Structure 1
């Protein structure tokens, strides 16, 4: 794919558990050179990719990058696993504590996205004008993030809830059926065009999130190095 034009900032970011590259694209747009790591092959990932165990890789190579990002798998701490699928919780590994420890040991600034992470900043897709309500919690280390005011949502998420169908300005970017978003609608809602794999879109971070955070981090890292 043709990558969007941007102004390079000379920094390198390592995106751990990168999946299809939603977070990576945001960092690219913010000016970073990006490398992704995932234990699963990701043929649609648009940047240099390393198939490896993310914790092992960051332990060995994290010090080589200017900023570390990790979206440690969230099934262990996700709301649905605590509620509807609580009986499955023990089948998912909790990678957040060992992942955080490995990132700290690398000695570089980091960003962690995970529902159980420390909430240094929380972003919602609707804050950026995207037609979905997707909240993500971020923990940071080695720099200070700025958040955004969270305006009230403007209506319903389209689809069936408890036997009632409601129309609304937001797409449900998860699951299938029941009025949930189609693949083109998911791509529109997230600002992601380079993958049409449902599972990858369901898990993706909108690139606007990490562009917003990455620009702030770059300003602070470059100022500290000056």
Structure 2
């Protein structure tokens, strides 16, 4: 949603069905899907392998490690790209975003790697009076709606979808920076 708000036409690609995806969607393997026709590529390889919760539960190796493969594919493509994942993932941390930088009441730190210098300064994190939907490592029942609202999602998503969602404010910010960088390089 954030890239759309920034002015991009958005197309989603995922190996799994995404029935609530709000834009054009192709169910396909993103690692083999043709990249021609896209101006910018945003990739969010599975994050579960690097999530702190997986380390606590010792499930780390049950999830794929696609970051290096994704990075190589995007570098070889030579188009502007963004790779997003959780803190702890093996990304070059060009940018760390936190919900508090966008006046959201949740930390939800995410790191972004890019081949484009696009990152304006943002205010630092401010972790005072945050909303925490997790109790004992799991999202409590009834918290889906609250978390959706806190991260800026006003359409229906399931608990697992909300838990993995990138707040639209993050991608709107990145999208606006990408547009500015692309105009400056033209």
TM-score, normalised on structure 2?
0.90
2:35 aligns to what SS in structure 1?
helix
> Which of these two proteins has the greater Rg computed from alpha carbons?
1
Residue 44 (structure 2) aligns with: 71
Residue 193 (structure 1) aligns with: 154
Displaced runs of 4 or more, over 4 A: none
Residue 105 (structure 1) aligns with: 76
Q: Tell me which of 119, 123, 126 is aligned to 1:152.
A: 126
For the structure 1 residues 175 and 50, does the alpha-carbon distance in structure 2 shift closer, same or farther, using more than 3 Å as the test? same
Q: Is the 8 A contact 2:20 2:157 kept in 1?
A: no
Describe the superposition over 1:79-136 as per-residue Cα deviations: whole angstroms up to 9, x where unpaired.
Answer: 2223x122x2222110101011111121101111113111101010111111222111
The answer to whether residue 57 in structure 2 is matched with residue 85 in structure 1 is yes
Q: Is the 8 A contact 1:62 1:103 kept in 2?
A: no
Q: How many residues align?
A: 181
Residue 123 (structure 1) aligns with: 97
Distance 1:92 1:103 in 2: 21
Q: Is the 8 A contact 2:13 2:30 kept in 1?
A: yes
TM-score, normalised on structure 1?
0.75
Coordinate RMSD, CA, aligned: 1.7
Matches within 5 A, 1:127-146: 127-146=101-120
The answer to whether residue 54 in structure 2 is matched with residue 54 in structure 1 is no
1:114 aligns to what SS in structure 2?
strand
1:141 Cα deviation (Å)?
Answer: 0.8
